Amino acid sequence: MSTAAESRQSRTIEELRGFIRKVLSDPTVAVKSVEIARKYRGQPGADELIAQEISASTTVRIPENWSEADRMFIQILHEVLDDEAALY
């Protein structure tokens, strides 16, 4: 693995660690994030709307220029909603 790739991977891991700490210290973050994702699901520009509202209403901050960790978080929210829909 190249040094640049290792650096990027390390940065992503650190961002995810910070996010996990926020979720564990404030359990409402996960619930609010899923509710927000559900609200915008299927709308044009849903990912951006989700990121903006999560940033505005939780301790999680998703900047305009998303990192790999930010993209992963939004994708995981979609996967949770897909799993939820599969149950019904």
User: Would you list the domain boundaries of the chain?
Assistant: 3-86
**Pick from 20-24, 58-62, 77-81: least confident:** 20-24
Q: Check residue 1 and give its pLDDT.
A: 61
pLDDT over threshold 80, residue 11: yes
Q: What is the 3-state secondary structure (H, E, C) of 50-68?
A: HHHHHHHHCCCCCCCCCCH
Residues 6+ apart with CB under 8 A from 38: 81
Distance of CA 77 to the CA centre of its chain: 6
pLDDT number for residue 30: 92
pLDDT for 2 beyond 80: no
pLDDT at 73 over 80: yes
Is a pLDDT exceeding 80 seen at residue 5? Answer: yes
